[in-house]
Amino acid sequence: MLTGSCLCGGVAYQVDVASGPIVHCHCATCRKAHGSAFSSVMPVPREHFRWVRGEALLSQFESSPGKFRRFCSRCGSQIVAERPSQPNVLLRLGCLDTPIADRPRAHIWRSDAAPWFDPKDQVAEFPEGFPSK
């Protein structure tokens, strides 16, 4: 079982089964909603997804007709997106608390991408923040 929660911990969910594929979405609405280059997303079957805490804290924004981005109204974490008419809920993987073995399979909506980020660029990695000197 997978569990996820928001930054403040007020909202939490469980999913019975991992699904996929995991993708990094660069569409303009994901960039704006998350304030980042892309959103990492995993679809899971709605019937295996449930809120376990804080559902009353959820707010939502209909970013395109019928698509609802649900986020914690206290801390702002984007937690899931969904089209209620469709069978999958899209987990925003930054809020996932359970380790998973699956790895992202693709970058999507590259046509909408931020001009300052290219997944082909290799940049330095550090275990913590950027070194001060």
Q: How far apart are CA 67 and CA 59, in angstroms?
A: 13
Q: Residue 19 or 63: which CB sits closer to Zn ion?
A: 63
Q: How far is the CB of 109 from Zn ion (least distance, A)?
A: 6
Query: Strands, DSSP E only, in 2-104?
Result: 2-5, 12-15, 23-25, 39-45, 49-53, 58-64, 67-72, 78-82, 88-92
Binding status of residue 8 toward Zn ion by CB under 5 A: yes
- Closer residue to Zn ion (CB): 2 or 24: 24
Say whether residue 6 binds Zn ion (CB under 5 A): yes
Q: Does 22 bind Zn ion (CB under 5 A)?
A: no
CB of 112 to Zn ion, least distance (A): 8
Cα–Cα distance between 31 and 69 in angstroms, integer?
Answer: 13
Per-residue contact flags (x/-) with Zn ion for residues 61 to 100, judged by CB under 5 A: -----------x-xx-------------------------
Q: DSSP character for 96?
A: B
Largest Cα–Cα separation, the chain:
52
What is the binding site for Zn ion (CB under 5 A)? 6, 8, 10, 25, 27, 30, 72, 74-75
